[in-house]
């Protein structure tokens, strides 16, 4: 069964059960996303993918709203653009986006001003370097939840990480701030793989960025071991 | 760290184990009662017993304001510094208390004897300023003399009707005095479908703030597939300025139990929950006792009165999180999780508590049910207006002569309500000159030749509907208090908050507190609200300090509309509502370099 509806005035048709985001992508319409990842449950929390749906009072997240017959969807209306631009500006005033090129591109596209909010409190945090596999730099974390999701029932069932604090003060954390080796972490690396902003980074990559040479890193005994010839 | 004795814990834990993860908040509460806080070793034991991952348990503790993962004082004083208390000098009380003990708000004495905190609204607004000292309230605190009323807060009930509040004002009404659950007995003689039909016919809509038709909700849950269904009472009353549910729960718990029983029968549920806000610990024993009494009388339990219908109710205590008043966040909390609201749809009627079909209603909504069933929808509709039938409780606080819970039929005007409450007052002039007529006519000049003449206090603003509401002015005095008239006037009825500010008040201070409230209470799940409440607070702080930057008004608009338009749940969607209404009414307050209009 397929459903036909309108996106930006264009009639499109997709298989029943597809989300507006999937429908847009199949039809070459760009809807930006941040928290969305194909391998994790969609929580609709970044709200960057919001679109205007006729008949709905509020903007709707395209990552979870399903396409339905005769729906009229605007993916770039004035309201949509204001929301996206403001969210991006707030992100830039909150965290370090230097390792998030996709978001920086998005900011250019929406004309988002990184210095829009003067005297804004930022989420700053020391780099946590407590295990041989990866580092955690929560100054770069935008709370997409992907790491916590793959660590839990979206993939690994390790349940090593959860949240500290709430609201603006939320941060990904472990049980009473224990180091990674003291948690149930199995060092599977999936969290690093889904991190969109370099908040989680392989130790080796981090050390190379710090200016160490591969040989120096081998001596440190961290990162990937060289296979013997 | 001193040795932690785990033996006292082991006696407490077993009763929570059958609840699994859902037993987490109750277990943490019980544990904190023993240790005063939640030490790591103890938390690890709880996690093991309830089979919840350690990181998750820690995440839960971190989410709720009333759980502590570091040592706190054996005595904790929480001084309300929210709107209504602020009008009555709460900041001074907090300052005085802190300097007396050499602490800052949020700090604990080195000997762990005392912690002092500033608290969001404690729901004691009509007896402001107020504090919660451990599990007891201190109300009408007098900064000069240090005097206060200790213990059970008063129930100040007034208005022109006593339908919902018939048993309120004179202490807890026992089952004996409440009498037989006649409405419930009548419902048992009806089919569940006809009970739902009667509620639908009554036109009752939810009183928690969203005004959803109650009968439609019940019908949805009744028709939903599922052998297990739930009835949940949202008693997480924490909208700043709201205190009606506190009065209803304390004084007439049987009316709630009866309302929930009828709901259970109507939708085919055998289990109810009352989710009580953590800042109302003194209501918990009242509810527990009323439930025990009802069980003894055979009105709760298995096969009630040989009808074949079984129903029982469990009380769950929140732990300091306004967001848990959002229905899906409340479910998460009962399930032992952080109070993150869920994405809707699916709605609670099909996927509610434990993913089962659920009816969730506010305390006041359930209070309407026995009357509707007993007297019939037609009789109920004789009260109020055609589109807003029934009576409504308003929480009147701030600068009025007689703050309290006012029960009135829908349809009276704001002017009439304020008149009932004795009109606008000022702290700085004698009250006897503030005749109600002055207020009603909004300041008819008195004879200046009279001794002790003072111009009548003027109404500057009413915060209407709560922190998530909107500001009204004297231009709104003739708006009729109905859903339809208020909607037309752009005023949300919300939880029935009517908080009055006289002409001497600096509204920028009120706005600053609104900003702080939402920043403190955002759960942090969706970006617009997580960051927007923080940015909004920062800008409103600047505005209050008179340090507004160029373009701050534009920033507030963009942040406000983004939260309103794009947030995931009702909290974010309304976190800018009052601020945006203030910007429309008093744009001059947000202009760069502008001092307060009242100085």
Please identify, among A30, A50, A76, the residue that sits at the C-terminal boundary of a domain. Answer: A76
Provide the β-strand partners of residue B114. Answer: B75
Name the residue among B200, B157, B125 with its Cα closest to residue B405. Answer: B157
If asked whether residues B81 and B181 sit together in one domain, one would say: no
If asked whether residues A145 and A216 sit together in one domain, one would say: yes
Residue B2 included in any domain: no
Contact B343 A152 (CB under 8 A): no
If asked whether residues A138 and A216 sit together in one domain, one would say: yes
Residue B576 included in any domain: yes
For residues B202 and B371, give the distance between their C-alpha atoms in angstroms, rounded to a whole number: 10
User: What's the pLDDT tens digit per position in B241-262?
Assistant: 999 999 999 999 999 999 999 9
Q: Which residue has the tokens 């006292």?
A: B8
Which pLDDT band holds residue B439 (cuts at 50, 70, 90)? very low
Kindly report the CATH number assigned to the domain that includes residue A52.
3.10.20.740
If asked whether residues B365 and B251 sit together in one domain, one would say: yes
pLDDT, greater one: B151 or B61: B61
Q: Which residue has the tokens 């370097």?
A: A129
Q: Which residue has the tokens 């208005």?
A: B159
Question: What is the rounded average pLDDT of the residues A112-141?
Answer: 97
**Nearest residue, CB atoms, B562 vs list A45, A46, A87:** A87
If asked whether residues B427 and B302 sit together in one domain, one would say: no
User: What's the pLDDT tens digit per position in A8-19?
Assistant: 999 999 999 999
SS3 A69: coil
Contact A83 B533 (CB under 8 A): no
- Measured distance between the N- and C-terminal CA atoms of chain B, rounded to whole angstroms: 51
Which pLDDT band holds residue B146 (cuts at 50, 70, 90)? confident
Residue A121 included in any domain: no
Q: Is the minimum CB–CB distance between A57 and chain B shorter than 8 Å? A: no
Q: Is the minimum CB–CB distance between B530 and chain A shorter than 8 Å? A: yes
If asked whether residues B367 and B432 sit together in one domain, one would say: no
| Min Cα–Cα distance to chain B from A181, Å | 13
Contacts of B540 in chain A (CB under 8 A): none
Residue A139 included in any domain: yes
What DSSP designation does A193 have? Answer: H
Given the DSSP bridges, would you call strands A134-136 and A60-61 parallel, antiparallel or unpaired? unpaired
If asked whether residues B50 and B117 sit together in one domain, one would say: no
Contacts of B533 in chain A (CB under 8 A): 167-168
pLDDT at position B450 is 54
User: What's the pLDDT tens digit per position in B11-64?
Assistant: 889 999 999 999 999 999 999 999 999 999 999 999 999 999 999 999 999 999
If asked whether residues B299 and B435 sit together in one domain, one would say: no
Entry field: residues in chain A: 229
- What proportion of chain A, given as a percentage, has pLDDT over 90? 93
Which pLDDT band holds residue B449 (cuts at 50, 70, 90)? low
Per-range mean pLDDT, top range of B173-187, B430-444, B585-599: B173-187
User: What's the pLDDT tens digit per position in A68-126?
Assistant: 999 999 999 999 999 999 999 999 999 999 999 999 999 999 999 999 999 999 999 99
pLDDT at position B427 is 79
Query: Does the pLDDT at position B419 exceed 90?
Result: yes
Residue B321 included in any domain: yes
Query: Does the pLDDT at position B141 exceed 70?
Result: yes
Question: What is the rounded average pLDDT of the residues B232-239?
Answer: 97
Domain count, chain B: 4
Please identify, among B128, B150, B172, the residue that sits at the C-terminal boundary of a domain. Answer: B150
Given the DSSP bridges, would you call strands B131-133 and B75-80 parallel, antiparallel or unpaired? antiparallel
pLDDT at position B444 is 44
Residue A39 included in any domain: yes
Kindly report the CATH number assigned to the domain that includes residue B532.
3.10.20.600
Q: Is the minimum CB–CB distance between B198 and chain A shorter than 8 Å? A: no
Please identify, among A76, A99, A123, the residue that sits at the C-terminal boundary of a domain. Answer: A76
B347 lies in which domain range?
158-380
Residue B50 included in any domain: yes
A-B Cβ pairs (cutoff 8 Å, strict): 152
If asked whether residues B114 and B31 sit together in one domain, one would say: no
CA angle B50, B54, B58 (to 5 degrees): 105
Question: Which residue from A minimizes the CA distance to B40?
Answer: A176
Q: Is the minimum CB–CB distance between B343 and chain A shorter than 8 Å? A: yes
Q: Is the minimum CB–CB distance between B558 and chain A shorter than 8 Å? A: yes
Contacts of B56 in chain A (CB under 8 A): 159, 162
If asked whether residues B273 and B336 sit together in one domain, one would say: yes
For residues A170 and A161, give the distance between their C-alpha atoms in angstroms, rounded to a whole number: 13
pLDDT at position A221 is 64
Core vs surface per residue B460-487: b (16+ CB within 10 A) or e: bbbbbbbbbbbbbebebbebbbbbebbe
Say if CB B498 and CB B462 are below 8 A apart.
Answer: yes
Which pLDDT band holds residue B480 (cuts at 50, 70, 90)? very high
For residues B69 and B62, give the distance between their C-alpha atoms in angstroms, rounded to a whole number: 8
Domain count, chain A: 2
pLDDT, greater one: B550 or B455: B550
If asked whether residues B303 and B219 sit together in one domain, one would say: yes
Residue A96 included in any domain: no
Kindly report the CATH number assigned to the domain that includes residue A165.
3.30.70.20
Contact A165 B53 (CB under 8 A): no
Please identify, among B358, B380, B402, the residue that sits at the C-terminal boundary of a domain. Answer: B380
A147 lies in which domain range?
134-220
Residue B293 included in any domain: yes
For residues A178 and A136, give the distance between their C-alpha atoms in angstroms, rounded to a whole number: 13
If asked whether residues B480 and B547 sit together in one domain, one would say: yes
If asked whether residues B423 and B333 sit together in one domain, one would say: no
Query: Does the pLDDT at position B139 exceed 90?
Result: yes
Residue A111 included in any domain: no
User: What's the pLDDT tens digit per position in A200-215?
Assistant: 999 999 999 999 999 9
Say if CB B215 and CB B267 are below 8 A apart.
Answer: no
Kindly report the CATH number assigned to the domain that includes residue B99.
3.40.30.10
Question: What residues contact residue B338 under an 8 Å CB cut-off, 6+ apart?
Answer: A163, A166, B59, B60, B63, B332, B523
Contact B59 A163 (CB under 8 A): yes
pLDDT at position B443 is 45
Residue B70 included in any domain: no
If asked whether residues B179 and B305 sit together in one domain, one would say: yes
């Amino acid at each position: 069964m397929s459903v036909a509806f309108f996106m930006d005035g264009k009639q499109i048709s997709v298989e029943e059960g597809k989300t507006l985001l999937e429908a847009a992508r199949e039809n070459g319409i760009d809807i930006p996303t941040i928290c969305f990842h194909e391998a994790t449950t969609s929580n609709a929390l970044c709200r960057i993918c919001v679109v205007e749906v006729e008949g709905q009072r509020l903007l709707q997240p395209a990552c979870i709203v399903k396409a339905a017959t005769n729906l009229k969807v605007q993916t770039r209306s004035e309201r949509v653009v204001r929301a996206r631009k403001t969210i991006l500006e707030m992100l830039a005033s909150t965290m370090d986006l230097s390792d998030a090129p996709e978001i920086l591109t998005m900011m250019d596209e929406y004309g988002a001003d990184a210095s829009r909010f003067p005297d804004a409190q930022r989420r700053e945090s020391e780099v946590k370097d407590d295990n041989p596999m990866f580092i955690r730099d929560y100054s770069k974390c935008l709370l997409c939840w992907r790491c916590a999701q793959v660590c839990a029932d979206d993939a690994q069932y390790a349940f090593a990480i959860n949240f500290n604090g709430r609201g603006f003060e939320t941060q990904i954390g472990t049980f009473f701030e224990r180091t990674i080796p003291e948690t149930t972490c199995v060092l599977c690396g999936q969290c690093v793989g889904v991190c969109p902003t370099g908040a989680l980074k392989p130790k080796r990559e981090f050390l190379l960025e710090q200016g160490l040479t591969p040989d120096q890193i081998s001596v440190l005994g961290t990162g990937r071991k060289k296979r013997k010839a | 760290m001193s040795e932690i004795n785990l033996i006292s814990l082991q006696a407490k834990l077993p009763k929570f184990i059958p609840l699994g993860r859902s037993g987490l908040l109750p277990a943490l509460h019980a544990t904190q009662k023993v240790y005063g806080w939640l030490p790591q070793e103890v938390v690890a034991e709880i996690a093991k017993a309830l089979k919840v991952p350690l990181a998750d348990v820690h995440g839960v503790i971190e989410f709720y304001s009333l759980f502590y993962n570091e040592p706190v004082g054996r005595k904790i004083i929480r001084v309300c510094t929210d709107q209504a208390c602020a009008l009555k000098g709460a900041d001074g009380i907090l300052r005085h208390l802190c300097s007396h003990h050499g602490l800052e708000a949020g700090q604990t004495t080195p000997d762990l004897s005392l912690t002092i905190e500033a608290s969001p609204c404690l729901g004691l607004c009509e007896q402001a300023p107020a504090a919660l000292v451990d599990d007891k309230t201190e109300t009408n605190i007098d900064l000069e003399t240090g005097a206060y009323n200790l213990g059970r807060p008063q129930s100040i009930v007034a208005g022109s009707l006593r339908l919902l509040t018939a048993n309120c004002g004179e202490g807890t009404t026992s089952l004996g005095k409440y009498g037989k659950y006649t409405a419930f007995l009548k419902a048992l003689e009806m089919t569940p479908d006809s009970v739902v039909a009667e509620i639908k016919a009554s036109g009752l809509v939810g009183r928690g703030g969203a005004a959803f038709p109650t009968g439609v909700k019940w019908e949805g849950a009744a028709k939903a597939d599922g052998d297990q269904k739930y009835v949940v009472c949202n008693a997480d009353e924490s909208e700043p300025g709201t205190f009606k549910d506190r009065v209803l729960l304390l004084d007439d718990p049987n009316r709630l139990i009866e309302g929930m029983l009828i709901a259970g029968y109507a939708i085919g549920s055998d289990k109810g929950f009352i989710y009580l806000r953590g800042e109302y610990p003194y209501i918990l024993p009242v509810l527990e006792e009323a439930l025990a009494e009802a069980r003894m009388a055979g009105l709760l339990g298995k096969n009630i009165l040989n009808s074949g219908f079984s129903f029982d109710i469990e009380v769950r205590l929140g732990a300091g999180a306004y967001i848990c008043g959002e229905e899906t966040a409340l479910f998460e909390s009962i399930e032992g999780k952080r109070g993150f609201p869920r994405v809707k749809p699916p709605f609670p009627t099909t996927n509610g508590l434990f993913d089962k079909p659920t009816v969730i209603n506010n305390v006041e909504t359930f209070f309407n049910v026995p009357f509707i069933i007993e007297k019939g929808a037609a009789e109920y509709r004789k009260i109020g207006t055609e589109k807003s039938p029934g009576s409504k409780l308003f929480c009147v606080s701030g600068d009025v002569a007689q703050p309290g819970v006012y029960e009135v039929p829908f349809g009276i005007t704001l002017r009439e309500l304020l008149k009932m409450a004795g009109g606008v007052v000022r702290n700085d002039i004698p009250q006897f000159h503030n005749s109600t007529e002055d207020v009603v006519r909004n300041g008819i000049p008195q004879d200046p030749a009279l001794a002790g003449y003072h111009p009548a206090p003027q109404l500057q603003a009413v915060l209407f509907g709560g922190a998530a509401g909107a500001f009204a002015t004297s231009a709104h005095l003739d708006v009729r208090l109905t859903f339809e008239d208020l909607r037309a006037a752009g005023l949300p009825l919300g939880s029935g908050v009517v908080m009055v500010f006289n002409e001497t008040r600096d509204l920028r201070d009120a706005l600053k507190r609104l900003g702080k409230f939402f920043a403190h209470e955002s759960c942090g799940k969706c970006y617009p609200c997580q960051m927007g409440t923080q940015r909004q607070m920062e800008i409103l702080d600047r505005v209050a300090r008179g340090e507004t930057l160029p373009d701050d008004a534009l920033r507030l608009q963009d942040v406000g509309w983004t939260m309103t338009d794009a947030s995931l749940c009702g909290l974010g969607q309304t976190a800018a509502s009052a601020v945006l209404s203030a910007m429309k009414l008093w744009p001059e307050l947000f202009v760069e370099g502008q001092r307060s209009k009242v100085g």
